Structure 1
Amino acid sequence: MNKVLFIFVFSSFTLTACSKPENNTAVQAPVQQTAQTASESTKIRSTPAAGEHAETSLYWAGEYKGVLPCADCEGIKMELELKSDKTYELKEEYLGKGSGKEFKSEGAFSFDASNSSIITLDKAAENRKFFISENFAEARDLQTGKAIDSQLNYKLMKDTH
């Protein structure tokens, strides 16, 4: 975000310093377009750029919701709330057979040292791993943290209220 702001300010300064047009609206139009483009690119970016860390570059706190695949039921309705103090609340409800039972886990999570886009929930949630993006959380392999090799959807979408 700081890089985008710096580029915007530097570009604005350069454009105004290079020429003195008689009509100020001609200079303002490109600047406004640049500002719009910068804010749009921030919304679209879902993973941190090279060298950035999800922990510090993304707004990861919030509620993530979705239905994950289940081997012996219609799906698992899941809500994962990540709090800014690095605690979580996980709610799961098995759909179809045995529905109506909700399981709840609470505890702390940590960002992976080797891949800062991966979090690991504590023992209360069976050390589950999730890839965290600005707009979604994706369940990952418990051992490796790698994406699950499947055509099924393991993403929880961020609730934007």
Structure 2
Amino acid sequence: MKKAWLFLLLTLLGCDQKAPINDDIATSSMNTIQWPGVYHGIFPCPSCEGMDTTIELFRPNNYIIHTVRLGSDPNPYRGSGTFKWDETGNIIILDRGHIYQVYPDHLYLLDITFKRIKGPDAERYRVDKIKGLGQSRD
């Protein structure tokens, strides 16, 4: 009977545990995927038809960004700078303030609390890697 109670207690305690977070920098996006390259997508825009965005990431921690407000602004924005990795090595923070979570073939734009943007347009806050572009700076 004592073993049954112990098993039940351990089972209940184990069910309340949160999934472990991968804080191992050796297995982070920074160290395990080919993140340099060119990414492109169109972000939602409340005052235009969309923000056509192209980002090139290259080593060591540099980027070039090009955005166009579709349907409203004929003057595109072009900028460049540096980014830093967060402590997990899975998120980059551009020096202009944008925050992206890095995956093997895309980036997700995050909000200021480092969370994925939710809602009906959630999947539109993504830029996809364009294969074959931007690899020369690796």
Length-normalised TM-score, structure 2: 0.73
Corresponding residue to 1:155 among 117, 126, 129: 126
Unmatched 5+ stretches in structure 1: 1-49
Residue 93 of structure 1 pairs with residue 68 of structure 2: yes
1:129 to 86, 99, 114: 99
Aligned residue runs from structure 1 range 61-80, under 5 A: 61-80=36-55
CA deviation profile, 1:70-124 (whole Å, cap 9, x unmatched): 01100000000000211000110000122x21101211001111x32110000xx
For residue 4 of structure 1, what is the aligned residue in structure 2? Answer: none
Deviation per CA, 1:26-85, whole angstroms, max 9, x where unpaired?
A: xxxxxxxxxxxxxxxxxxxxxxxx441111011100000011100110000000000021
Aligned residues: percent identity? Answer: 25
Provide the C-alpha distance between the structure 1 equivalents of 2:72 and 2:119, rounded to a whole number of angstroms: 23
Residue 54 (structure 1) aligned with residue 29 (structure 2): yes
**1:159 alignment partner AA:** I
Equivalent position of 2:9 in the other structure? none
**Match in the other structure for 2:91:** 118
Partners of 1:111 and 1:155 lie apart in 2 by 18
- Point out which structure has higher relative CO (alpha carbons under 8 A, 6+ apart): 2
Question: Within 2, Cα distance between the matches of 1:109 and 1:84?
Answer: 10
Q: What is aligned with 2:115?
A: 146
Offset, 1:151: 2.1
| 1:150 alignment partner AA | G
Query: Shift in Å at residue 149 of structure 1?
Result: 1.4
Spell out structure 1 runs of 4+ moving beyond 3 A.
none
Of Structure 1 and Structure 2, the greater helix share is in 1
Computed over aligned residues only, the root mean square deviation of the Cα atoms, in angstroms, reads 1.4
Structure 2: 5+ residue stretches without partners: 1-21, 133-138
What is the TM-score with the length of structure 1 in the denominator?
Answer: 0.63
Q: Secondary structure at the match of 1:137?
A: strand
* Higher Rg: 1
